[in-house]
Amino acid sequence: MSDFLRHLPKAELHLHIEGSLEPELMFQLADRNGIELPYATVEEAKAAYDFKDLQGFLNLYYQGMNVLRSEQDFYDLAMDYFKRARSEGVLHIDMHFDPQAHLQRGVPLEVVMAGLLRAKQEAESQLDLSVGMIMAFLRDRPADEALHVLEQAAPYWKMLDAIGLDSAERDNPPEKFQALFARAKELGLVRVAHAGEEGPAAYITQALDLLDVQRIDHGVRCLESEDVVQRLKESQTVLTVCPLSNVSLKVVDQLDQHPLPALLEAGLKVTISSDDPAYFGGGLLENHIACVDAFGWGEDTFKWLNRNAMEEAFVSDARRAELLKRLEAA
């Protein structure tokens, strides 16, 4: 089964590129930029990745990305993940990135965008990997700041596939970002949002009603409301579920208690992603393998999950047709 899963053409719709920063690269970049890390060794860093909840993770996530300073750093970060993902049979990635987390540290938007866009172009021309760009906004920061950053990003609007909403969910409801999402819609930008990870099912409803999102990132807590499940089923809104992330952040105690089988049973359009692979124990392939162990799924289920992802990916019609063809041939 591992062999089948490795070779299965895969797509992931929910990946934070800053969360793909492996400790090895973190040490290299710290060295290159003369930055002192709070860890003496790679092993010490990995040992610190033992989270109680989303906020506990976010603290280390924002600390880790402090080594990213130059255009080359952002390029190296993305390329490192793209090559690893490609070696695991991933053919498409929709990539979230967090401009505010870099602007706050004095890293200009141009530096972030130039590095990530160069990596995307190279992946597409040389690695047979397509990449979607999701500019994410931090929901635990002021809504005005997000709106300002969206305006500042004007030179890049054409290069964005969507805007997203991430970071600490509790007490930061979608409602807070209505103006931002209205502006994005006016600009013709597609919208996605994290909802129902640590926040309640009502945040999923808010994201749909008030932000007019096309996808829900995570969304696992939809099961707490029959109405929300019904609605997601009828609209076939895609959920980007991240199994190993949910275990690491204690959204569930163990993977075999994860609501994934219930989400499938409910007729929802589920996909599987890795979220922050460097922090949560592996990339898209590891997430697939963990699901075999926990749920005993067979080949058809994994094909179905990846078909869902390919149907919803931010990609050209021609590339989508090619991805689906390669999936069906597997």
Task: Give the residue numbers of the binding site for substrate.
Answer: 276
Site for ligand HPA in 165-204 (CB under 6 A): 166-167, 194, 197
Backbone angles phi, psi at 104, to 5 degrees: -55, -30
Residues 6+ apart with CB under 8 A from 4: 299, 302, 330
Closest residue to ligand HPA, Cβ-based?
Answer: 166
Catalytic residue among 12, 197, 198, 312: 197
Nearer to Zn ion, 69 or 269 (CB): 269
Is 197 annotated in the active site?
yes
Nearer to ligand HPA, 80 or 320 (CB): 80
Backbone angles phi, psi at 193, to 5 degrees: -155, 145
| Torsional sign, CA 248, 270, 264, 169 | positive
Site for Zn ion in 245-284 (CB under 5 A): 275
Nearer to ligand HPA, 117 or 136 (CB): 136
One character per residue 67-106, x = contact with ligand HPA (rule: CB under 6 A):
----------------------------------------
- What is the DSSP code string of 29-94? HHHHHT---S-SSHHHHHHH---SSHHHHHHHHHHHGGG--SHHHHHHHHHHHHHHHHHTTEEEEE
**AA identity, residue 175:** E
One character per residue 247-276, x = contact with ligand HPA (rule: CB under 6 A):
----------------------------xx
Q: What's the angle, vertex CA 324, arms to CA 319 and CA 330, rounded to 5?
A: 130
301 binds, among Zn ion, ligand HPA, none (CB under 5 to 8 A by kind): none
Helices (H), the chain: 2-7, 23-33, 42-48, 54-64, 71-87, 99-103, 109-126, 143-152, 178-186, 201-210, 226-235, 243-248, 260-265, 277-280, 284-295, 299-312, 317-329
Nearer to ligand HPA, 89 or 199 (CB): 199
273 binds, among Zn ion, ligand HPA, none (CB under 5 to 8 A by kind): none
- Token code pair at residue 217: 């990132």
One character per residue 28-57, x = contact with ligand HPA (rule: CB under 6 A):
--------------------------x---
End-to-end Cα, the chain, rounded Å: 13
Strand partners, 307: none
Site for ligand HPA in 53-72 (CB under 6 A): 54, 61
Nearer to ligand HPA, 9 or 23 (CB): 23
19 binds, among Zn ion, ligand HPA, none (CB under 5 to 8 A by kind): ligand HPA
CB 67 within 8 A of CB 23: no
Please state the closest distance from residue 208 (CB atom) to Zn ion, in A.
Answer: 18
- Residue 12 within binding range of ligand HPA, rule CB under 6 A: no
- Residue 98 within binding range of Zn ion, rule CB under 5 A: no
- For residue 17, give Cα distances in angstroms to 21, 171, 257: 7, 25, 28
Please state the closest distance from residue 60 (CB atom) to ligand HPA, in A.
Answer: 11
Closest residue to Zn ion, Cβ-based?
Answer: 275
240 binds, among Zn ion, ligand HPA, none (CB under 5 to 8 A by kind): none
Rounded Cα distance between 182 and 175, Å, is 11
- For residue 30, give Cα distances in angstroms to 27, 45, 59, 69, 102: 5, 13, 18, 10, 16
- Residue 164 within binding range of ligand HPA, rule CB under 6 A: no
Strand partners, 94: 132
- Residues at the site binding ligand HPA, with contacts judged by CB under 6 A: 16, 19, 54, 61, 166-167, 194, 197, 245, 275-276
- Residues at the site binding Zn ion, with contacts judged by CB under 5 A: 275
Show which residues are catalytic: 197
